[in-house]
Structure 1
Amino acid sequence: MHQFDLSIITSAHDVADARLHRQVAALRRAGVSVEILGLGAMTDGPQGAQVRVWPRRHGLRRAWFAMSLPWRSRGRVVMALDPDSSFASWLAARLTRRRVVSDVHEDYRAVLSDRVWARGIRRVPAAVWARLGIFAASHSDAVIVADVHLLPELNNRVLLRNLPDLAMLPEPAVPQAPPRALYIGDVRASRGLFTMLDAIAAAPGWRLELIGPMADSDRSRYEDRLASDPDLASRVQWHDRLPPQEAWTAAAGASVGLSLLDDTPAFRAAMPSKVFEYLATGLPVLTSALPRPAELVRSIGAGAVVTGAAEAAEVLGRWAGEPDDLARTRERVLAWRTSELVGAKPTADFVSTVTSLVNDTSGTDSSGDNE
């Protein structure tokens, strides 16, 4: 049975996840062999990794699935991407010689306020899983965190910020007419779905392209909104989830990237990865007034900070009427991209940590795969 250096397991993430793709690309460049056990379409997984996928599960079925994943995997080291799969990996490690890495990309407790499925009576088991995930992270051999505000009390923490891998993104391209606003990420109300629709509706001439999975709870409202406004419907295009490189080809020719997230506990301290990705592809950014993206956009003059749909529409209208202003903003974006991203090595500590754990387990056969 073939053994891998690293198994990446997830009970909730699609194998098309952009952070997952960046991690695998960096590990493969370092010669680490990787398998992925997750959700979605096998063909959407990262290049260079062996991918196995299963249907999405919910509730107790998801919990049971998460508990099974470490035993299905064949890596010397296991990296888990969710609180339940992290806890499962910690439990399995008590009976095996494998090392465990937890990848924590969001505040497990704060994010519950942003999830419809975690309300009412279901919030209790969700909160339990969040606590178990934090416990597992604190007992892992290493914890990879996506931002500085995540689990600062842990000594085994390694920061892997969601900075883009320029090799996986298209080169900046000249914006095309008509002007097009771009959003890439989870499509849901709390991430600005209806704010974006209202802004585009009030900004004639602008088009909106949405790329990412839409929350089931928002789908009917989205369809009703477009059905009630044929002009808006003619200017909005929604794609479902796409692999990262395919998704970002849409950035070519766009005029601005949107990040109009609500002020929720989970988002308040966070830096949305899409802001960096927009800047990396040469796109000015229109952001809500969350502290960190607002500070970045203002400090480099990379776009505008708005407090709602009306202000967003006003800015879009101004840029449409004064294209030279938008062009100067784009020049500042490109200058920041050159100074901050070209030549950067944001994955160096992450790769070093994983390879060290792999080397520590070299020569052992501690894989599961009890399918």
Structure 2
Amino acid sequence: MSPVSSNQPIASRPRVVHFSSVHSADDVRILHKEGKSLAAEGYDVNFVVPHTQDEERDGVRIHAVPIPKNRRERTTRTVWQVYRKVLGLKPQVAHFHDPELIPVGMLLKMRGIRVVYDVHEDYSATMMDKEWLPLPVRWLARAGVVGFESAGCAMFDQIITATEGIAERMPPKKTVPVQNFPMLAEFPTAGGVPYSSRDNVVVFVGGLGLIRGAKEMVEAIQLVPDHLNPKLLIVGPLEPPVSPEWIAAIDVKKRVTWGGVKRRHELKDIFGVARCGIIAFLPLKNHLNAQPNKMFEYMAAGLPLVASDFPYMRKVTDGARCGISVDPLSAQSIADAMQWIFEHPAEAEEMGKRGRAAVESEYTWESQRQRLVACYQRLTARNGAQILSQHA
């Protein structure tokens, strides 16, 4: 049974406040997975975030702070506004998602609030990927991030990480990985265009910039033979310098469409017309063991993968036999994988089916939701060691 009942008045439920200064109000992990899962368990779930208005979505109340105009404003004024808003909500548990909010987490902890640090990325690794900085500066920045996180983690009640790799560098006694596996209900296998009848469309979903292989993907689709009539569909926000004009300048054969930003419920229709999903992240340190949401979402939708040949992604694609690993720095390598999928539709469809089966058996959000709920049962129990109830 659940630790709390959703039929209780809001005032009597444990109040949880997620907060972020960086992410959007529609963030998949924060809102759609963690927030909605906790609301379904009966918690009073709130989300403080830069947004245009206060609103409620599926039991999660969104509390807006002004959207910052630039990074400097975000790391100063926005951080302060987020802190004041969270404090005013008087949470039992405060759950934050950005390293720049570690000082806010410390202040809340000193006020007796239980604090959760949700680590989405290996932030120390990202410091080493900033190639515009001299190497000694990068090492100093990395050491600073490690020290900053260590000081905060020593104070916080719970550390949640998006991957098992990140969890390995966190305090083991208070760290639980809650991975970004898909919610199967969002990706029904029924419906959509039958795979054998689909056009030769490659889909990329998510934020796209240079480090995520924008140039290589656009160049690759140009190299696929003309008789296959290949298309690349990009869905999600574009990160400068990538823009519709930037894409048009290198899309010499007019094969690329930017579909804009879509809502979650629209993804199943997009996936339902595609032949494969692509992840062509460049080989930055923070990417080598990444577990992109989109990889598992493509698999859940029954799409074969074209994925960067990195350790974790190869482990998934080889283990499930659900895709082709490519050199993300080689447009030709990417194009060859696309061409193979287009020219072998029966084999590609079987790849997609194996990917879906792997998600159903190994990579579902339900398994991670249970970990999240167990953490909150401990955090909101009168005795921190007591678990109010157990789920089967």
Q: Which amino acid aligns with 1:165?
A: M
Q: Which amino acid aligns with 1:93?
A: K
Structure 1 segments unaligned to the other structure (5+ residues): 363-371
Alignment of 1:215-230 (within 5 A): 215-219=239-243, 223-230=245-252
CA RMSD of aligned residues (A): 2.9
Number of aligned residue pairs: give it. 355
Equivalent residue in structure 2 for 1:164, among 182, 206, 222: 182
* Aligned-partner Cα distance in 1 for 2:252–2:112: 60
Please give the secondary structure, in 2, of the residue aligned with 1:357: helix
Alignment of 1:1-371 (within 5 A): 5-20=15-30, 21-40=32-51, 42=53, 46-53=57-64, 54-64=66-76, 65-73=78-86, 74=89, 75-94=91-110, 96-114=111-129, 119=133, 128=144, 131-152=147-168, 153-154=170-171, 155-171=173-189, 173=192, 174-175=194-195, 176-203=197-224, 204=226, 205-219=229-243, 223-232=245-254, 235-307=255-327, 308-341=330-363, 344-360=366-382
Please give the secondary structure, in 1, of the residue aligned with 2:203: strand
Please give the secondary structure, in 2, of the residue aligned with 1:13: coil
* Aligned-partner Cα distance in 1 for 2:101–2:221: 40
Equivalent in the alignment of 2:390: none
Q: Which amino acid aligns with 2:108?
A: A
* Matched-pair contact (CA < 8 Å) for 1:12–1:56: no
Q: Which amino acid aligns with 1:350?
A: L
Q: Which has the higher relative contact order, 1 or 2, with Cα contacts under 8 A spaced 6 or more apart?
A: 1
Alignment TM-score, normalising by the size of structure 1: 0.85
* Matched-pair contact (CA < 8 Å) for 1:164–1:277: yes
* Aligned-partner Cα distance in 1 for 2:45–2:153: 21
Go from structure 1 to structure 2 and tell me whether the alpha carbon gap of 1:104 and 1:247 turns closer, same or farther (over 3 Å shift).
same
Q: Which amino acid aligns with 1:337?
A: V
Q: Which amino acid aligns with 1:55?
A: I
Structure 2 segments unaligned to the other structure (5+ residues): 1-9, 385-392
- Which stretch of the first structure deviates more once superposed, 57-66 or 119-128? 119-128
Go from structure 1 to structure 2 and tell me whether the alpha carbon gap of 1:57 and 1:143 turns closer, same or farther (over 3 Å shift).
farther
* Aligned-partner Cα distance in 2 for 1:59–1:252: 37
Please give the secondary structure, in 1, of the residue aligned with 2:68: coil
* Aligned-partner Cα distance in 2 for 1:139–1:225: 46
TM-fit CA distance, 1:122: 10
CA deviation string 1:97-124 (max 9, x = no partner)? 21100000101111234568x8579977
CA deviation string 1:153-199 (max 9, x = no partner)? 41200110111111233436433531211111220111111111111
Go from structure 1 to structure 2 and tell me whether the alpha carbon gap of 1:138 and 1:249 turns closer, same or farther (over 3 Å shift).
farther
* Matched-pair contact (CA < 8 Å) for 1:79–1:103: yes
* Aligned-partner Cα distance in 1 for 2:373–2:285: 30
* Aligned-partner Cα distance in 2 for 1:119–1:247: 38
Q: Which amino acid aligns with 1:198?
A: E
* Matched-pair contact (CA < 8 Å) for 2:317–2:323: yes
